[in-house]
Amino acid sequence: MTRVKRGCVARKRRRNILALTSGFRGTHSKLFRTANQQRMKALVASHRDRGNRKRNLRRLWIVRINAAVRNNGISYNRFIQWLYQNQTVSNRKILAQIAVLDPFALSAITRYIEKQ
């Protein structure tokens, strides 16, 4: 079998990995082996936290909606139940934005719920 010299390819690969880790501190951005380990660890963390971010945002939206509707004398559970029963379900992100930006609109909705 003939000898394959990988100098150019290997150097390019190492350079790309070091470029990805350029913002890391100390040896984690200078030496290839530790930089490669930190790169793999960072990719795992970013993959995991993309899911966690969605979870945390939904929790935040629920807290905001709950606080807004409780100011109007109704519980979050009853509010969401009423939305589902009347098939006027908007997603929680939009409801949270309404609660923060236009509390009078949300209070009008909750007053309508209390009448029924």
Mean per-residue pLDDT for 96-104? 94
Residue 86 pLDDT > 90: no
Element (H, E) at 5: none
Structural domain including 34 reads 7-115
Whole-prediction pTM value?
0.77
- CATH code at position 98: 1.10.1900.20
Examine residue 39 and state whether it is found in any structural domain, yes or no. yes
Work out the percent of the chain whose per-residue pLDDT is above 90: 76
The one-character DSSP state at 72 is T
Answer whether residue 30 is part of any domain.
yes
Q: Using an 8 Å Cβ cutoff, are 65 and 96 in contact? A: yes
Asked whether residue 82 is domain-assigned, the answer is yes
Q: Does some domain include residue 1?
A: no
Specify the DSSP class assigned to residue 2.
Answer: -
- pLDDT at position 88 is 80
Confirm whether 2 is domain-assigned: no
The total number of structural domains in the chain stands at 1
Asked if residue 81 is part of any domain, the answer here is: yes
* Of 102, 26, 28, residue with least CA distance to 68: 102
Q: Note the pLDDT tens digit of each residue in 23-63.
A: 999 999 999 999 999 999 999 999 999 999 999 999 999 99
pLDDT score at 24: 96
Question: Which pLDDT belongs to residue 100?
Answer: 95
Q: Which residues of 5-41 are buried (b: 16+ CB within 10 A; e: fewer)?
A: eeeeeeeeeeeebbebbeebeeebbeeeeebbebbee
Q: Is the pLDDT of residue 114 over 80?
A: no
